[in-house]
Amino acid sequence: MDNYDPPQDPPEILHEDQALIVVNKPAGLLSVPGKGAHLADCLLARVAARFPTALLVHRLDRDTSGVMVFAATPHAQRHLGLQFEKRQTKKTYVTRVHGRIDAREGMIDLPLIVDWPNRPRQMVCHATGKQAITNYKVIRSDACESRVRLIPRTGRSHQLRVHMAALGHPILGDPFYSDNADEYPRMMLHAEELRLRHPEGGRGMRFHARTPF
């Protein structure tokens, strides 16, 4: 990642209260710092500069945009962390992928494991991989590409990217799992919506960020 050049616009704040800070992460910006001073700029650092008590709850890949939540207190961090761990949150993504998907909807159930010689790449492995399940619904499709809504039921690293590539429809602009990354200005994957329970009181909340492609 020697050519790391993240966008410089300040992050869009979607919601803030005494327990939550919800942000629309831009594509190209790390969620947390990488190794080395040149990778220090990240969404966590930018949010903490404005909200000093902000704490990490989950991550999005560098090249994925969309809804990301931070906790404002240690109690909220624990509460939200358990929701993610127990799969009580609901995440919805929008993507553009290569080729026509004929089925209107479906489920991908393929176990994943890190591809150690090529990390951080992940790969399908039926022998030792961890369960990974993604539901998908096709929004529209033509001979060249399909726009798809993805609902992950598990939260494995690179899950959506590997699953779509394994289906034969890699995400457009994906630098790891497609061969067309140079043809697109970004990876076409966006975290459109996140549903969770508020750490103070438990009421259901829904956060949405408009898809930019």
Q: Enumerate the active-site residues.
A: 61
In degrees and rounded to multiples of 5, residue 174 shows phi and psi of -70, 120
Tokens 């970004």, located at residue: 186
DSSP 35-85: SSGGG---HHHHHHHHSTT-EE-----TT-EEEEEEESSHHHHHHHHHHHH
Beta bridge partners of 67: 24
> Residue 74: which of 53, 51, 58, 50 has the closest Cα?
53
Alpha helices in the chain (DSSP H): 43-50, 74-85, 159-166
In degrees and rounded to multiples of 5, residue 187 shows phi and psi of -75, 130
